Structure 1
């Protein structure tokens, strides 16, 4: 099959993404990727320095898919809190439906000897997080959340808190380590509800505020 240079690059990434999805692993060879794409076994080396570089592009594709998935989940929900519940469920569902890809996106596989991750993966991951950031900003502007929309520290803290909770929950679900009797389909809702309401007893919070 004949490809233009850019098209072949994309075809190799898509072939590797398909293999990760089908095999739920990434221990396949570059030769196998080339066969899946229908090109010579040397073709991948014209586009990627090594397998890690190809897998970095696969992980970046995963982040772009996650970004699209999250955006689609909240696109038609005007209420920021309800949209946040939709986003939480969409995030956990994405991880549950794509366990190997999720591990590749967030795991240590792509880090080099200095724990640095490829730029293409970092950039795609940062863009995926903008969906949550935008939602939190929208909610703050509507007074749905406790921080002011111009409070940068409040926004960053809220983003880190929610993303950490969702990533931790998704990782537990993917690796079957949640060790809970709670229904899996309601985990995101339950965790997010507690996160929004807080652990402290409302009466104790009130007395602390008055004190």
Structure 2
């Protein structure tokens, strides 16, 4: 997680980081739609006019955090892929890492995927999302040489992991199946099943 942790309300020179940290804490408490820029300022211990040096509005602040979310995902997914040489196991490791990111960095996950940010206004987010695609396509291309089939496999694995992550967050899985460990295992098994169906 790239946002530094600082005591709330203390004087420091890193206004941008202080506002990002405050917004991240508020998202953790209320979700990505549940706070105002003024509240983030109060949480950071700065005046309501302070953020405009760095962020034009609340969405710009959330977009900055979403970019950090994509960067953290890419770091985790690259590490997961590097731990294996077999493409099926690489996709299983990616799916596991996806669920783990959603659980360990809930606020970043919610900002990245649930804040409804306008990517035409923040093209850096589209670029960051494309970077994740570019890391994973070579893996799925080893299982499905046709580019359309490789992309479809990537979408299937990512969609399954995303859905399972949301199921766990919303406690939609019964009892013992709703633990993080169980959901990670389910994501890996689903990825293996999807990838195994595409082996040539």
Asked whether 1:124 is paired with 2:123, we answer no
Q: CA deviation at 1:190?
A: 2.4
TM-score with structure 2 setting the length: 0.74
Structure 2, unaligned runs of 5 or more: 1-10
* Counterpart selection for 1:93 from 94, 100, 114: 100
Residue 185 of structure 1: how far off its partner (Å): 4.2
Is residue 59 from structure 1 mapped to residue 66 from structure 2 by the alignment? yes
Q: Structure 1 residues 170, 130: closer, same or farther in 2, change over 3 A? A: farther
**CA RMSD, Structure 1 to Structure 2 (Å):** 3.0
Separation of aligned partners in 1, 2:147 and 2:190: 24
Unaligned runs of 5+ in 1: 199-211
* Larger Cα-atom Rg: 1
SS of the aligned residue for 2:83 comes to coil
Q: Does the 8 Å contact 1:34/1:40 carry over to 2?
A: yes
In 2, Cα distance between the equivalents of 1:117 and 1:101?
19
Corresponding residue of 1:160 = 155
Q: Aligned equivalents of 1:123 and 1:176: distance in 2? A: 32
Aligned residues: 183
Deviations 1:26-56 (A, max 9, x none): 4233234335545433111222221112112
Q: Which residue of 2 aligns with 1:174?
A: 169
TM-score, normalised by the number of residues in structure 1? 0.70
SS at match of 2:116: helix
The DSSP-based 3-state class of the residue aligned with 1:109 is: coil
**Residues 10-89 of structure 1: matches in 2 within 5 Å?**
10-21=17-28, 23=29, 25-26=31-32, 27-89=34-96
Local SS of the residue matching 2:93: helix
Distance 2:51 2:138 in 1: 37
Q: Conserved in 1, the CA contact under 8 Å of 2:37 and 2:58?
A: yes
Indicate yes or no: 2:172 matched with 1:184.
Answer: no
Residue 57 of structure 1, CA deviation: 1.4
